[in-house]
Amino acid sequence: MADSVHVSVTVGGERHHADVEARQLLVYFLRETLGLTGTHVGCDTSNCGACTVHLNGEAVKSCTVLAVQADGSEVTTIEGMANSGTLHPLQEAFWAKHGLQCGYCTPGMIMASADLLARNSDPSEQEVREALAGNLCRCTGYHNIVKAVLEAAKQGATV
Amino acid sequence: MSANGGNANGFVGQSLRRKEDPKPITGQGRYVDDLTMTGMLWMAFVRSQEAHANIVSIDTSAAVGLPGVHAVYTNEDMGDLAAPLPMAWIPPGVEVRTPEHWPLTPMRIWEAIHESDGGTS
Residues of A in contact with B23 (CB under 8 A): 103
Q: Could you report how far apart the first and last alpha carbons of chain B are, in Å?
A: 66
pLDDT of residue B6: 53
- Is residue B24's pLDDT more than 80? yes
Note whether B26 and A78 are within 8 A (CB).
yes
pLDDT of residue B7: 61
Tell which of B23, B25, B42 to mutate to test the A interface (max A CBs under 10 Å): B25
- Is residue A127's pLDDT more than 60? yes
Mean of pLDDT values over A6-13: 96
Indicate the pLDDT class of residue A158, thresholds 50, 70 and 90: low
pLDDT of residue B2: 46
pLDDT of residue A42: 96
- Is residue B80's pLDDT more than 90? no
Bridge-based pairing state of the strands A4-11 and A74-76: parallel
Bridge-based pairing state of the strands A14-21 and A52-55: unpaired
- Give the nearest partner residue to B17 out of A96, A104, A110, using CB atoms: A96
pLDDT of residue B5: 52
pLDDT of residue A118: 96
pLDDT of residue B54: 79
Q: Is the Cβ pair B18, A41 closer than 8 Å?
A: no
Cα–Cα–Cα angle for B69, B72, B76, nearest 5°? 170
Residues of B in contact with A104 (CB under 8 A): 24, 29, 31
- Render pLDDT for A145-155 as a digit per residue (tens, 0 to 9): 999 999 999 99
Beta bridge partners of A10: A15, A74
CB atoms within 10 A of CB A97: 20
- Give the nearest partner residue to B25 out of A36, A39, A110, using CB atoms: A110
- Is residue B118's pLDDT more than 50? no
Beta bridge partners of A74: A10
CB-based contact, B23 to chain A, within 8 Å = yes
How much is the ipTM here? 0.93
- Render pLDDT for A69-109 as a digit per residue (tens, 0 to 9): 999 999 999 999 998 889 999 999 999 999 999 999 999 99
Tell which of B19, B20, B23, B26 to mutate to test the A interface (max A CBs under 10 Å): B26
pLDDT above 90 covers a percentage of chain B that reads 19
* φ, ψ for residue B14, nearest 5 deg: -95, 145
Pick B86 or B68 by higher pLDDT: B68
Indicate the pLDDT class of residue A140, thresholds 50, 70 and 90: confident
Residues of B in contact with A95 (CB under 8 A): 17-18, 21-22, 25
Residues of A in contact with B34 (CB under 8 A): 31, 37
Residues of A in contact with B33 (CB under 8 A): 37, 40-41
- Render pLDDT for A22-72 as a digit per residue (tens, 0 to 9): 999 999 999 999 999 999 999 989 999 999 999 999 999 999 999 999 999
CB-based contact, B11 to chain A, within 8 Å = no
The model's pTM is: 0.80
Q: Chain B: residue nearest A30 by CA?
A: B34
Reduce the secondary structure of A53-65 to three states and give it as a string: EEECCEEEECCCC
- Is residue A132's pLDDT more than 90? yes
What one-letter code names the amino acid at A18? Answer: A
pLDDT of residue B107: 62
- Is residue B110's pLDDT more than 70? no
DSSP class of A14: E
3-state secondary structure of A135: coil
d(CA A54, CA A35): 17
pLDDT of residue B14: 86
Q: Chain B: residue nearest A93 by CA?
A: B25
d(CA A26, CA B22): 25
Mean of pLDDT values over B12-38: 93
